[in-house]
Amino acid sequence: MATASELPHAVCVELAREAIAAGPDGYSPVAANERARQFRDALLGPVINATGVLLHTNLGRAPFAISTAAQATNIEFDLASGERGSRQTAVGGLFAMLCGAEAAMVVNNTAAAVLLVLAALANGRDVLVSRGESVEIGGGFRVPEVMEQSGARLVDVGTTNRTRLAEYSKAMSRKAADVAVVLKVHPSNYRIDGFVETASVKQLATLGVPVVADIGSGLIDANCPWLGGPPPAWLANEPAARQTLADGAALVTFSGDKLLGGPQAGIIAGRADLVRACQQHALARALRPGAHVLLALQALALAYLDRTVVDVVPFWRMAATTVNDLTVRAHQLVAAAGCGEVVATEATPGAGSAPNAGIASVGVRISGDHLVALRRARPPIVARNRDGVTVLDLRTVNPADDHFLVEALRVCAS
Ligand SMILES: *Cc1c(COP(=O)(O)O)cnc(C)c1O
C-alpha cells in the first residue's frame, strides 16, 4: 500500500489540507493516508492484464517498450548531407517496404490518419462511403464526424446492409458530383450478418478515383509469415495492409497499437503522390508523432522485416503462445500459490479487432470476487469476475509477472 512518504512533499501538504477541510473532526492521519493512496493509485503506471483481452483499450492496447534514452536523435537531420531531413523518411520507408507500398508516413493514431488523408485529398470535395460503413468505432471514432472535420463532403452510398459497385458508379455520375476519393472503412468492432452485400476494394478500384481503405487494426500481411505457420483462425475476417494495397487501394490507414503490436500511432501507406500530399498538408505538423514513438515503430518494423516478431512484439508472443504452454504455467502457479484451480478460458483479440473471434486460453480461477484486492496489488492486476468466480487469464500475462500472480492469489485465499 502506498504511503504519504512516497509522494512529493508538496502533494502530501495539499492532501493533508484537503483532509482537514473535509473532515468534520479536523485532521486525521488515516484520512490523509487514504487520500495519499487514492492519489497514487490514480497515477499512470504498469498494470498486469489478466483479462484475456489481448488489446485492452483501457489498458493501453498493445504493450510495447518505448526507448527512454535521454539522447539526441537524427530525427530531422540527414547525416549524409548534414542538412535538415524529414522525420518521416526512415520509418515511412520501412513501413512502405513492409506493406509493399510506394510510400508511407506516420501520425498519432488512425483517427488522425483518416483525418489527414481526407483533408489533404478531399477538402471541399465529395467522398463516397457505404452507409454500412458510416459507423462509430471504439472510443468515439465516428466516420461522419471525422469527415466533417476534414472539410470533405460525405456522400452516402447504398443501404446499411447492401451496397453494390453500381451504386458507387451512380453516385459518381450524379450531376455536379466532384468525387475525390472512395473511402472504405473496415467495420472493426461490429458485424452485419445475413442479407449483406458490399463492394470489395478490387471492385472499387475500377471506379477510376483513389480508394482509401481504413483497415483499422494494422494486420500487415494476411499470411502472417512471422508466425512460421498458417495464419490463426481468429484472423479470418481481418483485412491486411499488403493484400488491400495489392487489390488496388491507393492508400491504407491503420493503427500502430492493435494487430501491428506497437505503440499508439496511425500509419498511412500507398501511392507516393498521395502520401506526399498528406505530408505537405498543414495538419501533418499538428498530427506528427514524437521521437520516442518513431524509434519504437522503427524497432517494430525492423522486427517484422527480420521475422523476429514473436520474440520482439509482446502482442504476437501472447497471441502465438500454445495452450499447452499456458496449461503448464497455470499448474505451476496453482502449485506455488497453494490455491486456485486451472481452468480453460477464451481470450479475445480486443480493440475491435476480429470482434467475434475467440482464442483458446487457460487461466487460474479462485472462488469469490477478488477484483478490488487484485487491483490493489503492486503492480495492480486486472482480472475478470464470472458469476462470483475470479479468473486470471494467462494468455495476456507476461510469464515474467507470474510470481506477482502467485503472491496475489495467496492474499486472495488468506
Ligand atoms: C481502431 C480503428 C480506428 C481508430 O484507431 P485509433 O488508432 O484508435 O485512432 C479507426 N478505424 C478503424 C477501422 C479502426 O478499427
Residue nearest to atom 12 of ligand 1 (CA): 216
pLDDT of res. 316: 97
Q: Is the pLDDT of residue 4 over 80?
A: no
Closest ligand 1 atom to 139 CA: 8
pLDDT of residue 327: 98
Tell which of 266, 290, 312 closes a domain.
Answer: 312
Ligand 1 proximity of 110 Cβ (cutoff 6 Å) = yes
Q: Give the residue from 312, 344, 369 where a domain finishes.
A: 312
* Cα distance between residue 142 and residue 144, in whole Å: 6
What is the chain's mean pLDDT, rounded? 92
Ligand 1 lined by 53 (C-beta under 6 Å): no
Query: How many other CB atoms are found less than 10 A from the CB of residue 11?
Result: 15
| pLDDT band at 16; cut points 50, 70, 90 | confident
Choose the residue to mutate in 56, 106, 110, 258 for probing ligand 1, maximizing ligand atoms within 8 Å of C-beta.
110
Tell me the longest C-alpha to C-alpha distance in the chain: 76
The mean per-residue pLDDT over the stretch 297-316 comes to 96
The number of residues making up the chain comes to 414
62-76, 134-148, 176-190, 247-261: which range is least confident on average? 134-148
User: pLDDT category, 5, cuts 50, 70, 90?
Assistant: low
Kindly state whether residues 50 and 189 are assigned to the same domain.
no
Residue 274 and residue 374 in one domain? no
- Specify the CATH number for the domain of residue 374: 3.90.1150.180
Query: 3-state class of 151 per DSSP?
Result: coil
Same domain, 273 and 355: no
CA 367 – ligand 1 centroid, Å = 37
365 part of a folded domain: yes
Residue 194 φ/ψ, nearest 5 degrees: 100, -125
Q: Which of 254, 285, 312 is the last residue of a domain?
A: 312
pLDDT digits 0-9 by tens, 42-76: 999 999 999 999 999 999 999 998 877 789 999 99
**pLDDT higher than 90, residue 162:** no
Where does 271-387 show beta strands of DSSP type E?
341-350, 359-367, 381-382, 384-386
265 C-alpha vs ligand 1 centroid, how far in Å?
A: 10
Whether residue 31 has pLDDT greater than 70: yes
Q: Can you tell me which atom of ligand 1 is nearest the CA of 188?
A: 15
Q: Is residue 32 part of a domain?
A: no
- 207 and 288 fall within a common domain: yes
Residue 128 has pLDDT above 60, yes or no: yes
Decide: 312 in ligand 1 pocket, CB within 6 A.
no
139 — pLDDT class (breaks 50, 70, 90): low
Task: Tell how far the Cα of 259 is from the centroid of ligand 1, in angstroms.
Answer: 11
Residue 207 has pLDDT above 50, yes or no: yes
Question: What average pLDDT does the segment 197-208 reach?
Answer: 94
Instruction: Please report whether residue 17 resides in a domain.
Output: no
What are the residues facing 53 on neighbouring strands? 348
224 and 180 co-located in one domain? yes
Contacts by 155-159, CB closer than 8 A, 24 or more apart: 155/126, 155/127, 155/128, 155/129, 155/179, 156/129, 156/130, 156/131, 157/128, 157/129, 157/130, 157/131, 158/130, 158/131, 158/132, 159/131, 159/132
Asked whether 217 lines ligand 1 (CB < 6 A), one says yes
Q: Is residue 260 part of a domain?
A: yes
373 and 250 together in one domain? no
Q: Is the pLDDT confidence value at 101 over 80?
A: yes
Which of 332, 339, 346, 396 shows the shortest CA–CA distance to 365? 339
End-to-end CA distance of the chain: give it in Å, rounded. Answer: 17
Residue among 141, 82, 78 nearest 112 (CA): 141
Among 201, 161, 139, 185, smallest CA distance to 350 is for: 139
Q: Is 111 in the pocket of ligand 1 (CB under 6 A)?
A: yes
Query: How far lies 397's CA from each of 144, 179, 400, in Å?
Result: 37, 48, 8
* Average pLDDT value for residue range 218-232: 93
DSSP H/E element including 373: helix 371-375
Judged on CB neighbours under 10 Å (0-12, 13-18, 19+), 267 is buried
Closest atom of ligand 1 relative to the 253 alpha carbon: 11
Percent of the chain clearing pLDDT 90 (strictly above): 76
CA of residue 249 to ligand 1 center, whole Å: 18
Structural domain includes residue 387:
yes
What is the whole-number distance in angstroms between the Cα of residue 109 and the centre of ligand 1? 7
State if residue 255 touches ligand 1 by the CB under 6 angstroms criterion.
yes
Mean pLDDT score, 103-124: 97
Q: What is the pLDDT of residue 154?
A: 93
The answer to whether residue 137 sits within a structural domain is yes
Task: Give the integer Cα–Cα distance in Å for 214 and 150.
Answer: 15
pLDDT confidence bin for 3, thresholds 50/70/90? low
Do residues 262 and 385 share a domain? Answer: no
Domain that holds residue 328: 45-63+316-413
Long-range own/partner contacts, residues 222-231 (CB < 8 A, 24 or more apart): 225/307, 226/304, 226/307, 226/308, 226/309, 226/310, 226/316, 227/309, 227/310, 227/316, 227/320, 228/307, 228/310
Q: Is the pLDDT of residue 335 over 70?
A: yes
Q: Decide if 89 contacts 272 (C-beta within 8 A).
A: no
Residue 200 lies in a domain: yes
More confident site: 281 or 30: 281
Q: Which of 186, 255, 287 gets mutated to test ligand 1 (max ligand atoms within 8 A of its CB)?
A: 255
As a whole number, mean pLDDT of residues 236-249 equals: 95
Residue 1 has pLDDT above 50, yes or no: no
In this structure, the answer to whether residues 335 and 195 fall within a common structural domain is no
Count of other CB atoms within 10 angstroms of residue 206: 12
Instruction: Specify whether 358 is located in the same domain as 396.
Output: yes
Q: Are residues 296 and 359 in the same domain?
A: no
CATH classification of the domain holding 190:
3.40.640.10
Gap from CA of 113 to ligand 1 centroid (Å): 9
Work out the pLDDT band at 138, boundaries 50, 70, 90.
low
Question: What's the confidence (pLDDT) of residue 142?
Answer: 87
Q: Which of 17, 23, 55 lies closest to 36 in space, CA to CA?
A: 17
305 and 350 assigned to the same domain? no
264, 66 Cβ separation under 8 angstroms: no
Pairing of strands 126-130, 179-185: parallel
Q: Is the CB of 352 inside a 6 Å radius of any atom of ligand 1?
A: yes
Q: Count other C-beta atoms under 10 Å from residue 385's C-beta.
A: 13
Say whether both 50 and 156 belong to one domain: no
Mean pLDDT of 326-339: 97
Total domains in the chain come to 2
Q: What is the pLDDT of residue 58?
A: 94
Strand-strand pairing, 179-185 and 153-157: unpaired
Cα 227 to averaged position of ligand 1 atoms, centre (Å):
24
Residue 33 lies in a domain: no
